Amino acid sequence: MGAEIGATTSVFPYNHRMRTYLEKTGRGEIAAVADEYKDLLVPDEGCEYDQIIELNLDELRPHINGPFTPDLAHPVSEVGAVAKKNGWPLEVKVGED
């Protein structure tokens, strides 16, 4: 998310939800290491931010980025029409080695 708003770095504090996510996505070993260092994976006590951006996730619409450039995003609901209009390939494929 940071790059989308022009930030050069983003930090997401480690918490129980992140641990659950890591476990559910097959990265339990990483969660175990993060648990060991969780006191280092949070904001410094008393820290202040120069800007806070709050997002209402209920208002977000899924987008697909590209093709050809990551900053060219289209709502999923419109990507078929945009692809036809621009003559882009309509077949969806998975990249292979």
pLDDT in tens, 19-33: 999 999 999 999 999
Residue 20: what pLDDT? Answer: 96
pLDDT-based confidence at 37, cuts 50/70/90? very high
Q: What is the DSSP letter of 20?
A: H
**Residue whose C-alpha is closest to residue 30's, from 14, 42, 43:** 14
Going by C-alpha positions, the residue among 10, 30, 9 that lies closest to residue 19 is 30
How many helical (H) and strand (E) elements, i.e. helices and strands, does the chain have? 3, 2
Rounded Cα distance between 66 and 16, Å, is: 33
Q: In whole angstroms, give the CA distance from residue 63 to residue 17.
A: 24
Give per-residue pLDDT as tens, 43-73.
888 988 788 888 898 998 888 887 777 778 8
- What is d(CA 41, CA 17) in angstroms, rounded to the nearest whole number? 13
Q: Note whether 28 and 19 are within 8 A (CB).
A: no
What mean pLDDT comes out for the span 77-92?
88
